[in-house]
């Protein structure tokens, strides 16, 4: 019976963690799914590493919006879904998603860091499969 209680407690804790991660990434997921760079950068830190098809640069929040608007224009979203969420030992939260645009599919990695009470994107990658 104790084992069952411990297992149940672990399942509840895992469910709470998944819900919390989902809440962190929902605004980003919704913005990407809509192809809305303006909404997406609201979750960005002041400096963000962006990897677009292997071209990696660090951009300010304002520059990020222009770069992502251009990406969404060139690669309009058909669908986007988060397929995995997790955290590193250092406490960084991440999600991995699949972005579909025309005949192209991209793996999307989003890494966030907690700053005060909010989680801010400090890295986002769109890598063609």
> What are the chain's domains?
2-128 (3.10.450.50)
Round to whole Å and give the CA distance between 94 and 113. 9
Angle (nearest 5°) at CA 34 between 24 and 94: 30
Which tokens is 16 given? 């709470």
pLDDT at 1 over 60: no
For the chain, what is the total number of helices (H) and then of strands (E)? 3, 6
pLDDT the model gives residue 92: 85
pLDDT at 6 over 90: no
Lowest mean pLDDT among 12-16, 61-65, 82-86, 104-108: 12-16
Round to whole Å and give the CA distance between 33 and 109. 14
Which tokens is 31 given? 């913005």
Q: Considering only CA atoms, which of 98, 123, 96 is closest in space to residue 111?
A: 123
Round to whole Å and give the CA distance between 7 and 18. 17
pLDDT at 16 over 60: no
Summary mean pLDDT of the chain: 86
């Amino acid at each position: 019976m104790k084992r069952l209680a411990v297992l149940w407690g672990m399942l509840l804790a895992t469910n709470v963690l998944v819900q919390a991660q989902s809440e962190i990434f929902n605004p980003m997921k919704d913005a990407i799914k809509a192809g809305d760079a303006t909404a997406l950068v609201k979750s960005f830190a002041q400096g963000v590493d962006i990897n677009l098809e292997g071209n990696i640069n660090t951009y300010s929040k304002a520059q990020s919006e222009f770069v992502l608007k251009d990406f969404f224009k060139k690669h309009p979203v058909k669908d986007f879904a988060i397929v995995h969420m997790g955290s590193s030992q250092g406490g960084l939260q991440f999600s991995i998603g699949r972005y579909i645009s025309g005949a192209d599919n991209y793996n999307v990695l989003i890494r966030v860091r907690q700053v005060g009470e909010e989680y801010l994107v400090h890295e986002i990658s769109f890598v063609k499969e």
